[in-house]
């Protein structure tokens, strides 16, 4: 019988998205008043994060401006949680939303 596990975009083992293990007090609220507007948040290079999109709208994210579709690396649909790993050397996460007034919660995960 084999082992079943999940991996993030960088191949690291991660917990199920609905059961992350966040660092205490690491949460950041992501908001975007106008859809498709590139916004940024500071992150820790090489860290893994869980992003939960509230019921208002979905998020798309990248390490460069999300104004260009080629730069979008991750997408989080409405009401879901995804796990992402920030590449080495990156400390700014770019994001945009697919609706006005979307809200999301970004939590740094334990190593």
Average pLDDT over residues 70-75: 94
11 within some domain: no
Give the domain CATH number at 87: 2.60.120.10
Q: Which domain holds residue 74?
A: 26-108
CA distance 67 to 36: 7
Determine the 3-state secondary structure of 68 from DSSP.
coil
Query: Do the domain assignments include residue 12?
Result: no
Tens-place pLDDT, residues 8-53: 767 777 777 766 778 988 999 999 889 999 999 999 999 999 999 9
Checking 64-69 for CB contacts under 8 A at 24+ apart, the result is 64/94, 65/38, 65/94, 66/38, 66/94, 66/95, 66/96, 67/38, 67/96
57 within a domain of the structure (yes/no): yes
- Please give the tally of structural domains in the chain: 1
Please give the angle made by the CA atoms of 49, 13 and 89, to the nearest 5 degrees: 50
For residue 2, being part of any structural domain is answered with: no
**Considering the domain boundaries, does residue 89 fall inside one?**
yes
The CA distance from 10 to 92, in Å, is: 17
Q: Do the domain assignments include residue 32? A: yes
Confidence of residue 3 (pLDDT cuts 50, 70, 90): low
Q: Is residue 94 part of a domain?
A: yes
């Amino acid at each position: 019988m084999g082992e079943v596990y999940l991996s993030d975009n960088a191949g690291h083992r991660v917990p199920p998205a609905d059961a992350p293990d966040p660092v205490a007090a690491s949460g950041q609220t992501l908001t975007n008043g106008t859809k498709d507007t590139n916004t940024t948040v500071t992150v820790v290079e090489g860290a893994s994060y869980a992003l939960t999109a509230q019921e208002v709208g979905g998020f798309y994210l990248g390490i460069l401006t999300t104004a260009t579709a080629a730069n979008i690396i991750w997408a989080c649909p409405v009401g879901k949680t995804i796990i992402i790993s920030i590449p080495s050397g990156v400390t700014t996460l770019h994001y945009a939303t697919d609706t006005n007034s979307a809200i999301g919660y970004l939590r740094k995960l334990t190593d």
